[in-house]
Structure 1
Amino acid sequence: MNHIDYIVHVIVMPIVLSIGMINQCLNVCTLLHIRTSIFLYLKASAIADILSIFAFIPFLLRHANLIDLTWETGMLYHAHFELPLINALISASALNIVAMTVDRYVSVCHPIKFFQNNETKPSRRRTMLIIVLIYFTALMIYFPSVFQKKVGVVVDASMNETIYTIVRNEEVEAMQVFRFYLILRECICRWGPVLLLVILNMCVVRGLRKLDKRNWFWRQPSTTSRYENCAQRQNRTPRDDRSRISVLLFVTSATFIICNIPASVISFFIGRVSGSMFWQIFRAIANLLQVTSYLYNFYLYALCSSEYRHAFLRLFGCRSSPTPTSTGDSPTVRVSVHGKRCQAVVLLGNEQQESPVDDV
């Protein structure tokens, strides 16, 4: 069991975290060149990932036996704050993805309500407030976990020094209130986001399909002129970009489920890990799956968002000006009256050109 623990947490995990740090730094630098409000959630998620990678450093040093066991303050941090801080930052990253999915769901399935909210409060300011609340909520949810472990004291008579160890606080873990807290914590930080991501993404995909069908119906040309065909091709570009963002949300949600569910399961059986080879291997796999989420975000965003790719090229000076076409940013909907028909119009970023997307 010690051999498995050493391979996973001392050899493999530092390599994964090092690659993940490079990817997340590139991710943040690229997102800084995108001003659309929905990408603020991705930026906040990437920053939480970077902070969690830094929080992993004491965890890796402890598993590599590179810490001073006679340093009481350091052992207090390892016992009480190490894992709660890591898990809180990972949860903050995941909750930002959930918030982005909710924003996407409202903009696609309830566009008029989305527009009214943007009129009463600026979208960017509201997004920043939500991000701050997400970070604060994640830290508060994991605060009771600081009492799950405690520091034990062992006196080494031969060396005449005091050695501190980390032991489980069985009295706290045996309390019914703490067991209820563990269930509530996993429901809020893991199982709840999984359920929300699955339901909301299904609704977003269904809403986009309805939009495409309605757009196809209202945009049937009366004559087959060359200018109308060109206009239709231009109008299809935002739809394709929105579809790519929806694919991005779906893939991100699927990888979130795969990477976080094993870690959620192990939290309920943590007391059996130390004495079982099966649970030791399962914990190692769960920890590795959880940190592999740092690896794929950068590539998924580049694959699914043309605006992200253009921002990445501008980062290295390969593109001098922003692309004229918007991507899948949350559409702002305006109600405009044309005769007796009320038509919703998508405003693509800050552009002056407007294209009808739906009839209300």
Structure 2
Amino acid sequence: MIFPEGPGAMTPLGVAVALGREQEQEQEQVERIRFIAYGVVAPIIVAVGVVGNLLTIVLLRQPQFKGVTYTYFLVLALSDLLSLSMCVSLLVHILHEETCSFATAVWFAYFELFLINVPMSTSVLVVVCVTVDRFYSVCRPTHFTTIHTERVARRAIVGSVSIAVLLWLPMCFLMHPVECIEPMCSPPDNQTWWVVRFNTNFFPEVWYRPYFWVRQVLVSFIPVILLVVLNTLTVRGFLRLRARRNEMARNSANGSLQLRTSSTVEGRYRKEQHLIPLLVAVMITFTVTMVPSGILNAMHTDSPDSKATYEIFRAVGNDLEVLSHALNFYIYILCSRSIRVSLKNICRRRRQISFAGASVSRVVVAVQQLTKRHEKGKTLSPDPTGIVGLADIEEATRIENEPQDVSAQLTSQRNLAQRV
């Protein structure tokens, strides 16, 4: 994700210096586009993505979600959550380029882009790792056990983080804070204001272009190609396995053999058949959201023919890239039955706990009222028959036994989710 304008960009966000009438109007149009894209659309995407990734982390912490694949998913949710949280700083920076705080300018220059793009690139590389794991599961089952281990998963995750850090580390030295002075920019008042500019002395443009292209190839184009190719092969391999399985079931003359084959393969078959919609959804969303930003970064220019048209395409590409890190949870919800079941169980458990707490509170209040009445020399119930007091005792007994019933029900639901 590249939000800076480029080494040659010197005009600040909200000021049009020494421009003609047409250029001023175009600059105002660019500012409106940026406000809509980064002040309205992007914050909504970030908020939805943060909620989704937090729910993903809560779900994947459940006991039934243990294994290599869910380890990848947990790291994916954590990296997406971190990158979306850091995007808040970048959105503020885009809409308010000048700052009167030197510390804020230092953050914008040396840390902001690095801390946003490292988790984003880590997320992309982890998606590639999951794709490779699923490809071996379907198309290379004899070698699947060698790569589908926690040790390999940890190495893949560490490798993804390391590659992302190395690729984005130069961004810490690419820009530096400078004082906002004429004619570079117009300070809003007489105070000292700071802006972020490219450090062409330390990082000349002749170095920036090769670095830029190598980085984009490694974090955009190669992952997109791998994701599309491997997911296509995985889906095709699974369809072939399903066709072969159906043919063997039709041609089998030995009923006992067919029964044994079904009993050993049926569990894996039911598990893998949910893989196709998930892979197709990931492939489509990843391609749709990542390709525009990759094309945008590949055609990056400091002097476009139409700044407004270029800004629209740039805003769409950046918002789509943010959207790609916000959709993972909702894709899992739509395509993974086990996650849907777990989410329902968590919601049901929360409601049961809330209901039990409310019932206990009512019993406590009733007991306190009865105690006060008893201290005043009154009977336990205003009704001579004592029905109210008996009902309170029965309610207290029921609430006392209710946690055990809730615990047994939750244990049954957890076993059902594991079988699913």
TM-score, length-scaled by structure 2: 0.68
Percent of matched pairs sharing the same residue: 25
Q: Tell whether the 8 Å contact from 2:289 to 2:324 is kept in structure 1 after alignment.
A: yes
Measured after TM superposition, the shift of residue 12 of structure 1 is 2.0
Alpha carbons of 1:265 and 1:81: their partners in 2 closer, same or farther (altered >3 Å)?
Answer: farther
| SS in structure 1 of the partner of residue 341 of structure 2 | helix
The yes-or-no answer on 1:20 pairing with 2:49 is yes
Q: Which letter does structure 1 place at the counterpart of 2:294?
A: S
The reply to whether residue 128 of structure 1 matches residue 154 of structure 2 is: yes
1:143-292 equivalent positions in 2, closer than 5 A? 143-154=169-180, 161-170=191-200, 175-219=205-249, 220-222=251-253, 232=262, 235-236=265-266, 238-268=268-298, 269-272=300-303, 276-292=307-323
- Unmatched 5+ residue regions in structure 2? 1-29, 350-409
Quick one: distance in 2 between partners of 1:68 and 1:272? Answer: 22
1:70 shift after superposition: 2.4
Shift of 1:52: 0.7
Structure (1 or 2) with the greater helix fraction: 2
Q: TM-score, normalised by structure 1?
A: 0.79
Residues 187-196 or 106-115, more deviating:
106-115
- Which residue identity is paired with 1:206? R
Residue 158 and residue 314 in structure 1: after superposition, are their counterparts in 2 closer, same or farther (change >3 A)?
closer
Which region of structure 1 is more displaced relative to structure 2, 300-309 or 191-200? 300-309
Distance in 2 (CA, whole Å) between partners of 1:303 and 1:17 is 20
Give the conservation status (yes or no) of the 8 Å contact 1:106–1:113.
Answer: yes
Question: Aligned ranges for residues 36-51 of structure 1 at < 5 Å?
Answer: 36-51=67-82
**CA displacement at 1:228 relative to structure 2:** 6.1
Please state whether the residue corresponding to 1:167 is helix, strand or coil. Answer: strand
Describe the shift of the 1:273–1:128 C-alpha distance in structure 2 as closer, same or farther (beyond 3 A).
farther
Q: CA RMSD in A?
A: 3.0
For the pair shown, the structure with the greater C-alpha radius of gyration is: 2
Report deviation, 1:173: 6.6
Alignment correspondent of 2:345? 314
- 1-side partners of 2:99 and 2:301: how far apart? 23
Which runs of 5 or more structure 1 residues have no equivalent in the other structure?
328-360
1:91/1:138 contact within 8 Å kept: yes
- Per-residue CA distance 1:25-68 (angstroms, 9 max, x = gap): 11121122211211211211111111011111211222343x87
Q: CA contact under 8 A between 1:28 and 1:47: conserved in structure 2?
A: yes
Q: Secondary structure at the match of 2:176?
A: strand
Q: Distance in 2 between matches of 1:57 and 1:163?
A: 21
CA offset digits 1:108-148 (Å, max 9, x no partner): 22222222456xxxx12321232122122212211112333
Q: Does 289-298 or 154-163 show the bigger shift?
A: 154-163
Distance 2:242 2:265 in 1: 11
- 1:323–1:97 Cα change, 3 Å: farther
Q: CA deviation at 1:251?
A: 1.6
1:297 aligns with 2:297: no
What residue number does 2:394 align with?
Answer: none
Provide Cα deviations, 1:282-321, integer angstroms capped at 9, x if missing partner. Answer: 1111121112224432222122222222222333346622
Closer/same/farther in 2, CA of residues 149 and 273 from structure 1, 3 Å limit: farther
Relative to structure 1, the CA distance from residue 19 to residue 273 in structure 2 (aligned partners, 3 Å threshold; closer, same or farther) is farther
